[in-house]
Amino acid sequence: MFTRWGALVYRFRRIVVILTVLLAVAGGVLSSQTAGVLSSGGWLDDGSESADVSGRIADEFGGGKSNLIAVFRSTTETDATSAGFQAAVAASLAPLVADARVTGLAGYAQTSDARFISRDGDRAYVLVLLDLTDEESVDESDALKSLLTPPPGMEVQLTGFGPLTKDSAAQSEADLQRAEVVSLPIAAIILIAVFASLIAAGMPLLVAGLSIPSALALVWVVAQQVEMSIYVLNIATMLGLALAIDYSLFIVSRFREELRNGRTVELAVERAVATAGKAVAFSGIAVAIGLSGLLFFTAPALSSIGIGGSIVVLCSVFYALTFLPAVLGMLGPRVNALSFSGLLARMGRPRNPDGLRHSRWERVAHAVMARPVAVLVPVLAVLFIAGSPFLRLQQGVPDASVFPAGLESRDAYVTLQTEFNRGETTPIVILLDVSGNATDATTIEAVTDFSAELEALDGIDRVEGPFTIRDPQTGVLLPAEQVAALYALPAGQRPAGLDALLDAYVRDGTIRLDAVSPIEPAQPEGTALVPAIREMAVPAWIQGIQVGGVAAQSHDFLESQNRSMPWAIGVTLIASAVILFLLFGSLAIPIKGVLMTLLSISASFGALVWIFQEGNLSGLLAFEPVGYTIAGNPIIMFAVIFGLSMDYEVLLLSRIQEAYRRTGDNRASVAEGLAKTAGVITGAALIMVAVFSAFALAEIITIKSIGVGMAIAVAVDATIIRVLLVPATMRLLGDWNWWAPGPLGRLADRLGFSHVEDEPDDPAPGQTDPVVSPAG
């Protein structure tokens, strides 16, 4: 099948090149708009209790609208409650208040509530209520911000969903550009070193340049229908660079090898596609399956990365199997033009034979296979130790603190968390459904008792609701019976503000309570409060309880992630094992491949916790630890790394299997396969490490941690796993490497994916190739 595909592409090579380039150019036009349609949210599980609470607040309490938070600080006035300070704030906000998109303000001037004043008394914040949804506020964010003019001697910062989304998109693009500027020159240098030819080295970069815009264009299309995370932009580009370059590296290397063996250009294209191209197709399927495991998660922050990553993989495979062989067919031997070996020859210096490099890797393989147990045991011990920090994993849903300092919306958010009383803007929201009248004495007593039990929980400062009323003279909370007496008064005789409390906290038989906690809702300690509240016993008068708010959304996301994770991991492992079985017709190879990949992943997971959760190397990597591992990062890394490791597994084992089918000698086949692929794998790994490490320069901790973790995983996989563990285990397994039970073996043989072309001795120039299996 792959042989015939190679022949077809070669036959129509000029048409294929023109069509694929036009397709990529069209994609480039759309890709420039992709960042604008991505979301910084996506951490809400739509089927969760917290999502239900959000919906009820929007429907029953008139919520669901977005808001802005303006933080004011005077450089001259130290008392934010003073008339002069508040007058300056009012003057600054006046143009906003007059705008039709603004429905009102909530601040110290409106409420006289000290919560709007910082602990030091020199800052104040104002809630600007909008007649816009969160998504609508993103588009209007810049226009609204332009209406806010800081008065003389006063600083103002704006945060909220709209500003945070705009700033995160801009920061993601800045991180992406920085990574590309750093990684592309390094990748080019590595490719030149691997190929020793400028033309050959340019091929993988050209394929990457076509794949990434096309993938981002498709992401733009998908984002019109479903919510796509802003992190898709970085991860898609990261993957696109690595995969497109890797796949092209495999095919170009095999094409040049076939030319050196005396093949015609047509046959060289066919054999490159039939061998390396088949490995690329199957490894691409493996990567896509790994990423598709993220679709088991309901939160868009994870599922959209699975969608975006799979799109990138498919685009990389598409251009590697169409554009690349077509261009190679047009170039022919000119792919070796501008080579260093030719330059050395013209200077009268001998060329470095490729066989010398092969012999070095053969010696390494034979040395490992001479003492497989002595290699296997210490290497496994090192990997287990490296992965051990993962046992201390604590996950938290990221908030604005993962963005870099200096970003206005992030700094304003951090100011709210650190300079003001904690938790005021992120309370735990509790909806109580009561059986009687919401304001009769029995209900008020039951709700008051429940609120007292809530306040007794460690981590809850106070509970606010319709019955949290203080004596205006003493400031002491009124007992339940006095509160009931106030609500029993006719509407015209009630104290000022009582009806406003009813409007804010009561809807028919539903009462809302806000539990204020000083613990940040993203921290594991903050999310741990949610199940404690949900498990509380409630008075019989309260029929139902639901808990929402930021902490509850974080808790529900983690719970949903934990429920989906076994399915995502299990399906990925089984599907990848099936692909390896179909490709190699062996039962041992899939089991070994899965275990080896898990070992490389465990080491990177340990590094993820040790570095980013526990803060080691934070100075070197220039980040401020948040005290937890970003939720979703481990499963994202698992999906990506598991698929990527299959690249090297498929490429290495394909060459080993070719040699084994020809010679029947297990040790010699392993040594030959390693010798013929180690240089390519090393080059590919260096490129991947360079690309991923460049994303370690990102200022968003989420992307930085993924980049560092994946760079470590690839480095471990390409060195310790492929060079040491694979030869050692294959030596111990011997001929069992290629065994499969009778029925399974016959199935794999009938499907034909495991067929390989016999590789005879190098033919003389012009000699025709032997007949090959149609399965190619």
- Quick one: pLDDT at residue 125? 95
The model's pLDDT over 243-279, given as tens digits with 9 standing for 90+, comes to: 888 889 889 989 998 998 899 999 999 999 998 888 8
- Asked whether 521 and 399 are in contact (CB, 8 A), the reply is yes
| Other Cβ atoms closer than 10 A to 742 | 7
- Quick one: pLDDT at residue 346? 52
- Asked whether 268 and 277 are in contact (CB, 8 A), the reply is no
What pTM, to 2 d.p., does this model score? 0.80
Using 50, 70 and 90 to split pLDDT, how confident is the model at 767? Answer: very low
Q: Is the dihedral angle over the CA atoms 214, 220, 221, 222 positive or is it negative?
A: positive
CA dist., res. 168 & res. 176, Å (int): 12
Instruction: Please state, for a pLDDT cut of 70, what percent of the chain lies above it.
Output: 93
CA dist., res. 557 & res. 631, Å (int): 9
What Rg value do the Cα atoms of the chain yield, rounded? 31
| Torsion of the alpha carbons at 585, 589, 594 and 599, rounded to the nearest 10 | -170
Query: Where does 609-665 have alpha helices with state H?
Result: 618-621, 633-663
DSSP β-ladder status, 510-516 and 428-434: antiparallel
CA dist., res. 287 & res. 714, Å (int): 14
DSSP 466: T
Q: Does the pLDDT value for residue 751 go beyond 70?
A: no
Amino acid at 425: T
- Quick one: pLDDT at residue 687? 86
Q: Does the pLDDT value for residue 475 go beyond 60?
A: yes
Q: Which residues contact 746 (CB under 8 A, 6 or more apart)?
A: none
DSSP β-ladder status, 395-396 and 629-630: parallel
Q: Is the dihedral angle over the CA atoms 253, 257, 260, 264 positive or is it negative?
A: negative
| Torsion of the alpha carbons at 634, 394, 709 and 597, rounded to the nearest 10 | -50
The model's pLDDT over 667-704, given as tens digits with 9 standing for 90+, comes to: 899 998 888 888 888 888 888 888 889 988 899 998 89
Q: Which residues contact 752 (CB under 8 A, 6 or more apart)?
A: 1, 773, 774, 775
Q: Which residues contact 38 (CB under 8 A, 6 or more apart)?
A: 169, 172, 223, 228, 229, 230, 232, 233
At 296, list the tokens. Answer: 């088991």
Q: Does the pLDDT value for residue 774 go beyond 60?
A: no
